[in-house]
Amino acid sequence: MMKLRIASIAAAVLLAGAAALFPAASWAGSCCGGGSAASLIVPKYARSVADISFDTEIYHGFWNQNWTHTPDPPGSDLRQYRVNFGFGQRLGRNWQASVIVPYVWNVNQYSGLSSRTNGLGDATLNLWYEALDDVSAWRVRGIKDLVPSVMIGPSIVIPTGYSPYDDIASSFDVTGRGFYRVDGNLLIEKTIQPWGISASLSYGTYIERSVNREYGKYVEPYKKKLGDRTSASVSLSYNYFIGSGGDTLTPSISYSYLNEADGRVNEADDSSTSFRKQAVGGGISFSGTDRDWSVRASWSHAIREDGWGKNFPTTDIFTVGVRYVFR
Amino acid sequence: MYFAKKYCWLLLFFLIASCGNNLLPSGTDERAQVQPDTVGPEVGQKAPDFAVSDTNGGTVTLSSALASKRGVVLYFTMWCPICDSHMTQMVNTAVPAYPDVRFFAVDYVSGTVADAAAAQAANGFLALPVLADTEHTLLEGYRATMGTTVVIDNAGMIRMNEDYSNGSRLQAVLAGLP
């Protein structure tokens, strides 16, 4: 019974950790669209998980090529809203898969132009292998209590969104990047009650594609490939157990790093698509005694100072989400 | 279970039907042949005329821009990171290499000349002439969007109208100007 309770708490912590760990790393709606790719983990001893979240991303400016922060034009108010539908399914004792599909609204207001567009974002398919399990110790008695949860697996981003290479009229219509991407992912989490720490690392490569149209206009065909993507994040959380029933409130803080290398156009370098972003975040999640339902709210903040990013918008992302675990 | 499977297939069908043309990208050249001596935004057509204020308060027309130059380059900016990247590269490479070509950034998001001038200064492009396309004359006339780069030769014919990308196409077109 005690083992089940610990496993249940570990599952709740894992849920909270995973929610805090993957702040949306989207491309800007104001210039380049982009549905987010969050991660979805099925807790141990659960059959599946369903998740829905709502992101509000507010743009403040961008870091340019020289790592200098520049504000958006005067009178502008640029936002992207996303609803992310996620479903994860356990495939075996140590295997699970998930799919996340975002729907994107771009709402852009400049002093001389306004635009409201929407569409499907890029979908993400994940496959996870649970290499090690965390026993979520209350007290460290031996070396085995220090073993973290380790998950590895590939994911693929499917370009289901509207990209610049579709039959669209302007950059405001863009909701995806237009490229398949294959990632290798590593997720490490460790809980020593009441503290939890987690880290993730991903490396991905885009698949080269042909382009014969840009923003609805046919052009001389060429081959294009975006640069390889590296992302990492760490988070620290604390579990407050409320009352005697086992309700858990988990605040967390996080730091995330995202880098994309130079792309290629007809085998020549394209530095205009490379970027770097660093962000800090905070979040809070609540799960009830039975751990089936959990709700969360989080905030990811790109640091609006010189040197914290390159060629990328600086945004604040506010997320609220609800998740249900099927036993 | 049967219903769940059916629902999943329906969802998959909806997903594929809803998305763009990126799942199976095409590399086929589908550019249409343009009629010579027509006015329009396509390569090979006569460039639409315009009269737009620059951020210094002057009025720039197609004929004044082309005066005593081999051509004109219009780069459409919304002051975004990619725009900044493209403009920086253009200013550092194409502008000094082609002194006999006139380069303009076209700000189509600012509502006033003053806003366009403020954005130009904030982004550090004071040396690059900026046209404040407050009425969207250029945006609509050239069917442009963020990153669109238009090259017009001295005869007023459009030589290029596409995304700046990595700048190699612009360099090739400028090198081929009569």
Dump pLDDT digits (tens) for A206-226: 999 999 999 999 999 999 999
Q: For Cα atoms A98, A151, A161, give the angle at the middle one, nearest 5 degrees.
A: 35
Mark yes or no for CB contact A165/B163 under 8 Å: no
Q: How far apart are CA A84 and CA A322, in angstroms?
A: 11
- Asked if A317 and A55 count as a contact pair (C-beta separation under 8 A), the reply is yes
Q: What is the ipTM of this complex?
A: 0.87
Q: What is the mean pLDDT of residues A187-191?
A: 92
Topology of the domain comprising B38-175? Glutaredoxin (3.40.30)
Closest CA–CA distance from residue B100 to any residue of chain A (Å): 26
A158: closest chain B residue by CA: B23
Residues in chain B: 178
Q: What letter does residue A327 receive in the DSSP assignment?
A: -
pTM (two decimals): 0.88
Confidence bin at A193 (pLDDT 50/70/90): confident
The whole-angstrom separation of Cα B155 and Cα B163 is: 22
Contacts of A75 in chain B (CB under 8 A): 110-111, 115
Nearest one of B57, B61, B59 to B113, comparing CA atoms: B57
Helix (H/G/I), strand (E/B), else coil: A80 = strand
**pLDDT tens digits, one per residue of B40-85:** 999 999 999 999 999 999 999 999 999 999 999 999 999 999 999 9
Interface test with chain B among A113, A118, A273, by most B beta carbons within 10 Å: A113
Q: How far apart are CA A171 and CA A315, in angstroms?
A: 18
Q: Would the CB atoms of B109 and A76 count as touching at under 8 Å?
A: yes
Decide if A12 contacts A291 (C-beta within 8 A): yes
pLDDT at B3: 59
Note whether A283 and A316 are within 8 A (CB).
no
> Which residue from A32, A113, A164 is facing B109, i.e. has the nearest CB?
A113
Instruction: Go through chain A and tell me how many residues it has.
Output: 327
Residues of chain B with pLDDT under 70: 1-9, 11-20
The two beta strands, B71-77 and B148-153, are antiparallel
Q: Three-state SS for A6?
A: helix
CATH number of the A2-326 domain: 2.40.128.130
Question: Which 3-state string (H, E, C) describes chain B?
Answer: CHHHHHHHHHHHHHHHHHCCCCCCCCCCCCCCCCCCCCECCCCCCECCCCEEEECCCCEEEHHHHHCCCCEEEEEEECCCHHHHHHHHHHHHHHHHHCCCEEEEEEECCCCCHHHHHHHHHHCCCCCCCEEECCCCHHHHHCCCCCCEEEEEECCCEEEEEEECCCCHHHHHHHHCCC
Cα-to-chain-centroid distance, residue A221: 32
Q: Which residue of A has its CA nearest to B168?
A: A268
pLDDT in the model for residue A1: 39
Is the CB of residue A160 less than 8 Å away from at least one CB of chain B?
A: yes
- Here the tokens at position A128 are 């996870």
**C-beta atoms of B19 and A120 within 8 A:** yes
CA distances from A148 to A17, A131, A256 (A): 13, 10, 20
Instruction: Give the three-class secondary structure for A90.
Output: strand
Pairwise CA distance, residues A177 & A32, whole Å: 7
Q: What is the pLDDT of residue A3?
A: 42
- Conformational region of residue A235, where left means phi above 0, alpha means psi within -120 to 50, and beta covers everything else: beta
CA A307 – CA A259 distance, rounded (Å)? 14
Looking at residue A245, its pLDDT comes to 76
Domain boundaries, chain B: 38-175
Contacts of B159 (CB under 8 A, 6+ apart): B43, B71, B151, B152, B153, B173, B176, B177
Across A90-104, A234-248, B78-92, B123-137, least confident range:
A234-248
Average pLDDT over residues A225-253: 92
Q: Which structure tokens are listed for A6?
A: 């610990």
Name the minimum distance, in Å, from the CA of A57 to any CA of chain B: 16
pLDDT for residue B7 = 64
Q: What is the pLDDT of residue A20?
A: 38
Q: pLDDT tens digits, residue range A47-89?
A: 999 999 999 999 999 999 999 999 998 889 999 999 999 999 9
**Closest CB from B18, B84, B169 relative to A64:** B84
**Residue at token pair 């082609």:** B98
B22 CA: distance to closest CA in chain A (Å)? 5
Please give the Cα distance from A73 to B109 (Å, whole number): 8
